[in-house]
Amino acid sequence: MRLSSDKDDPGYRDWCILNGDGKLVRVFLDGALQKGALMADDEAGEVRRCVFTPEGNYARGHEEFLTEVVKGKVEILIEAKR
């Protein structure tokens, strides 16, 4: 499965459907919860996520957030919001 919050990404449609149904999506990479995940693909083993500063803030330029693609064992957990 591929989910993405980027409208130009193939996983955007599925993310919109889950978001519209009020589902909570959590992404794990090698067992660790991925804060700031923008895209996850469990078949390709990739997560695109925001980069955080040492103080825990989003790293950003003038008009965009810094992102990175990391690889490993990706798990996507979908739950009903409480």
3-state secondary structure 18-70: HHHCCEEEEEEECCEECCCEEEEECCCCEEEEECECCCCCECECCCCECEEEE
Render pLDDT for 31-58 as a digit per residue (tens, 0 to 9): 999 999 999 999 999 999 999 999 999 9
CA atoms within 13 A on the CB side of 67: 14
Number of domains in the chain: 1
Quote the pTM value: 0.89
For residues 51-73, average pLDDT: 95
The two three-digit tokens of residue 57, written as one number: 């803030």
Domain that holds residue 7: 2-80
